[in-house]
């Protein structure tokens, strides 16, 4: 085999291993996760989709960290494509945080970085805005997870609700977070408000 063939085979192997790594990581739970322990991640829904489900698995022995899994769903067809998308404000590890996508945006992604010194993560939402839709009938979920150090799962209760943001508390003693997700309906018509 010539050196050109070996080089070509190595390049193909690198491409396939990179594509595999982007799909997620499997842990002893048998599920696929977007991150490994104590590693940062950047998850974005495909264009035109938003987050509809969030799942996490806690391990104290792995730095009091969580594995994360997200699911997306297409927004209503009559909304068209998002007008714009952006990374919204960021929290600092070890602190409480409350964030709602500005400019009437919906959560379409999440990025996070782990900080060993605090045994916590920094968080940021990726938000997308559709036409001039405005939120209404907003409410917060109960704590996810219900108790610190448990598995957490939040699934949109019915089609027509969307994640606008979250409020999270951090326990410095237990080194874990609980989340309350902010869910809203969006108007079926264009509205004139910049931020609602």
The structural domain count of the chain equals 1
Backbone dihedral region for residue 63 (phi beyond 0: left; psi -120 to 50: alpha; all else: beta): left
* 24 belongs to a structural domain: no
Please tell me whether the overall predicted TM-score, pTM, comes out greater than 0.75 for this model: yes
Tell me the C-alpha distance between 130 and 106, whole Å.
Answer: 8
Give the pLDDT of residue 31: 82
**pLDDT 10s digits, 54-70:** 999 999 999 999 999 99
* 27 belongs to a structural domain: no
* 12 belongs to a structural domain: no
- Domain interval for residue 173: 33-186
* 70 belongs to a structural domain: yes
**pLDDT 10s digits, 168-189:** 999 999 999 999 999 999 988 8
Q: Hey, CA dihedral for 87, 89, 95, 96, is it positive or negative?
A: negative
* 9 belongs to a structural domain: no
Say yes or no to pLDDT of 15 above 60: no
Give the pLDDT of residue 28: 67
């Amino acid at each position: 085999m010539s050196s050109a063939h070996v080089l070509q085979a190595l390049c193909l192997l690198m491409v396939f291993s990179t594509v595999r790594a982007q799909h997620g990581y499997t842990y002893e739970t048998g599920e696929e996760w977007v991150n490994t322990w104590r590693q940062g991640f950047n998850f974005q829904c495909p264009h035109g989709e938003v987050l509809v489900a969030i799942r996490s698995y806690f391990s104290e022995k792995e730095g009091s960290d969580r594995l994360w899994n997200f699911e997306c769903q297409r927004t209503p067809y009559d909304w068209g494509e998002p007008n714009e998308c952006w990374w919204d404000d960021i929290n600092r590890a070890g602190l409480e945080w409350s964030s709602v996508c500005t400019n009437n945006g919906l959560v379409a992604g999440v990025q996070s970085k782990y900080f060993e010194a605090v045994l916590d993560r920094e968080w940021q939402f990726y938000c997308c805005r559709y036409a001039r839709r405005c939120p209404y009938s907003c409410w917060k979920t109960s704590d996810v997870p219900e108790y610190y150090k448990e598995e957490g799962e939040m699934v949109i209760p019915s089609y027509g609700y969307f994640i606008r943001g979250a409020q999270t508390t951090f326990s410095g003693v237990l080194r874990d977070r609980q989340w309350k997700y902010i869910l809203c309906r969006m108007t079926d018509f264009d509205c004139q408000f910049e931020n609602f």
